Chains A and B, each alone.
Chain A
Amino acid sequence: MVTVMKHAQKGGAVTIGFAGSGRSESDRLGPVAGILSFRWVLAAFVLILWFVYYPIIDNFVVSTKSQDIFTGETAFIGLDNYRRLQGDPVVRTAIVNNVLYAVISVVFQVFGAFVLASLIEGLAEERSRRFWRAVYFVPSAISITVTGLLFYFIYQPNIGLLDSALTQVGLADWSRAWLGEEGTAIYAIIAMSQWQGFGYSTLLFAIAIQKIPRELYDAAIMDGAGTWRRLWNITFPLTREMTGLMVIVTITGAFQVFNEVMVMTGGGPNNSSQVLGTWLYQQGFIENDFGYGAAIASVIFAITLVTGFAQLWYTKRRRVEL
């Protein structure tokens, strides 16, 4: 009861802060109405705590155990799985691949998309602006499984588009089994991901650019500022918030990559295109080593927790500024 009352006081104060609606009614009606109000959050709470929070805590417990999946016997082995992580060369490859994913995606899907969005928004007719935004967005609506399989075929040497296109423009020497060679597999997957994702971020930047007041551009044109100057001095600073958020979201996404790698190479050849997500799957579900898989999951958790807090902090700061 004491805690409820304490929350009630805090809740009252915050209601004023958030919505500006005078005194919270729980202060007047007493704790009964307050307790009844829990029905509002009960369903969400049960679902989130049970299926989102608890498994993530349980994941740490699982990661300290070795388990025989057939007999179900578990043995506590402390931090052994984490020591194994340090010496696992595939974990190192996977982290490098996730970082590559993040860096290349930030270049194309944040900065590339920003430039593209400002080019599109610079077009005179609203009709053509809408047309290009929609065209580039189409791949983002399609599932990664479909686009992954599609590019699996595009990269095939015998029936694929890429090698025959290269041959036709006289670059036959460049053609190869893109997904079959250790040096190119991860880059081929990342390239597919850029093809699929850039339209989505272009659309988001376009929306941010639309919010910039036209008068700023008119004034800049009067002062004789050219296209690039306007881009650099008006569009870029005024969409900085969106850019920051997109960088964080893109990096978070790059460390959760799973689907496209799974569909296109399954991590091969010779584990050269493994990412943390697929290595987790390989260890946990193919090798049935749940403990080690859970330890890999903890690495993903640690990285996405940092980016998650960065996003929270960034969003909060942004809200205050506006």
Chain B
Amino acid sequence: MSIAYQSSETERTDFAAVLAKVCLVAFLTSLGIVVLYPLLWMALNGFKTNAEMFGNPFALPSGFSIANYISAWNQGIRNYIATSVIVTLGSAICTVLVSAWTAYGLTRSKLPGKPFFVGIVLGGLMLSPTVAVIPLVRMMQDLGLYNTYWALIILYTAFRIPFTTFLIRAYMLGLPRDLDEAAIMDGASEGQIFWKVTLPLCKPILVSCVILHVLFAWNEYLFAMIFTSGADLQTLPVGLTSIMAKHGTNYAVVFAAMTLSALPIVMTFFAAQRFFIRGLAEGIGK
């Protein structure tokens, strides 16, 4: 009797659990469709003709001709990608090197007055690009950097040093000091310790920092829009808005251009997902 009661009870909870699980998966799937369908729609629209565009928006394209993609590529996307790659990689290297160098100084060197310097660097975290943009225009013009790659590389580096230094410093504080001390015993200088001991140990956080910086620089819009004006110097986000302005009526090409700009970063995300996620986790603080 008691055994029978027990088993029917278990059956009921099993049923409830299965129902809950089905509901949950249904919910997650519908949310997944809401997230991914617009992106799929974007890529598919790049294959449509302009006439098809005004038909049923849910319809599939009649064929998969890559004419629009080629057209978008030749109408500027190629140049914009080149500029974005130069600016993103240039500023990523500068930011991570300067930040690692600074973080070492702030944690392990003989630098006097460390709290003061830490305060100045971390204070920069609170200052946003929007607030600085008007004075920076005149400054960049005076320096002759307006409308050059350097304007963006310098600004992306300067504005990301506080955050990147903060991450690397936190990591360095957690590193053991035995190796440093052993190196000092062997007569190594601070510079040698930085390049040969500390930097290799910091590789995980450096990878995370590079990824976070690439995500930032590849997608940045405000500075890129204001400090570049020539078509050959525009980064992808800005170039995309000019394609939109120029070919706004040829929707299919605009969709192809959007897909081409999104593709590199999405592929990077899936290829380096593990590093991405760790980078973001570090980014918000441990």
Contacts and interface: CB of A to CB of B under 8 A. Distances in A.
Nearest to B158: A51
Interface in B138-172: 139, 154-155, 157-159, 161-162, 165
A41 B102 contact: yes
Contacts of A277: 130, 222
A199 B36 CA distance: 12
Given A43-B98, A308-B126, A141 B111 contact: no
A280 B130 contact: yes
Given A11-B111, A48-B121, A50-B158, A259 B221 contact: yes
B278 to A, nearest CB: 9
Contacts of B32: 132, 135-136
Contacts of B241: 145, 149, 263
A258 B161 CA distance: 22
A202 B283 CA distance: 14
Contacts of A232: none
Given A44-B98, A280-B130, A304-B131, A164 B42 contact: no
Interface string B267-283: 01110010011001100
Given A149-B254, A154-B38, A294 B177 contact: no
Contact of B112 (A26, A48, A132, A160): A26
A254 interface: no
B99 interface: yes
B266 A141 contact: yes
A40 B123 CA distance: 18
Interface string A264-278: 000000000000110
A142 B265 contact: yes
A2 B104 CA distance: 25
B125 interface: yes
B240 interface: yes
A262 B112 contact: no
B241 to A, nearest CB: 6
A169 interface: no
Contact of B215 (A58, A141, A149, A195): A141
A138 B110 contact: no
Interface in B93-152: 98-99, 101-102, 104-107, 109-117, 120-128, 130-136, 139
A119 interface: yes
Given A44-B121, A139-B39, A159-B57, A284 B134 contact: yes
B226 interface: yes
Given A53-B124, A139-B35, A308-B126, A44 B102 contact: yes
A262 B244 CA distance: 13
Contact of B111 (A37, A43, A47, A246): A37
Contacts of B158: 47-48, 50-52
Q: Is the interface of B mostly helix, strand, loop or mixed?
A: helix
A50 B262 CA distance: 33
A315 B131 CA distance: 24
A204 interface: yes
A225 interface: no
B41 interface: yes
Contacts of B27: 119
B104 A40 contact: yes
B28 interface: yes
Given A136-B35, A263-B241, A297 B139 contact: no
Nearest to A124: B21
Interface in A30-80: 31, 33-34, 36-41, 43-45, 47-56, 58-59, 62
Interface string B49-73: 0000110111000000000000000
A58 B135 contact: yes
A47 B95 CA distance: 10
B176 to A, nearest CB: 10
Given A11-B113, A51-B159, A158-B54, A297 B134 contact: yes
A203 to B, nearest CB: 6
Interface of B: 20, 24, 27-28, 31-32, 34-36, 38-39, 41-42, 45, 53-54, 56-58, 98-99, 101-102, 104-107, 109-117, 120-128, 130-136, 139, 154-155, 157-159, 161-162, 165, 173, 177, 190, 215, 218-219, 221-222, 225-226, 236-238, 240-241, 244, 251, 254-255, 258, 261-262, 265-266, 268-270, 273, 276-277, 280-281, 284-285
Chain A to chain B: the 3 pairs with minimum beta-carbon distance, closest first: A40-B105, A7-B113, A308-B126
Given A143-B218, A318-B285, 20 more contacts: A11-B112, A19-B173, A34-B111, A44-B101, A45-B120, A51-B155, A58-B139, A119-B28, A132-B28, A137-B269, A143-B236, A149-B241, A151-B38, A195-B34, A204-B280, A207-B277, A259-B222, A280-B130, A301-B127, A308-B125
Interface of A: 4-8, 10-11, 14-15, 18-19, 21, 24-26, 29, 31, 33-34, 36-41, 43-45, 47-56, 58-59, 62, 116, 119-120, 122-123, 132-139, 141-146, 149-151, 153-154, 158-161, 164-165, 195, 199-200, 203-204, 207, 227, 242, 245-246, 249, 256, 258-259, 262-263, 276-277, 280, 284-285, 290, 293-294, 297-298, 300-301, 304-305, 308-309, 311-312, 315, 318
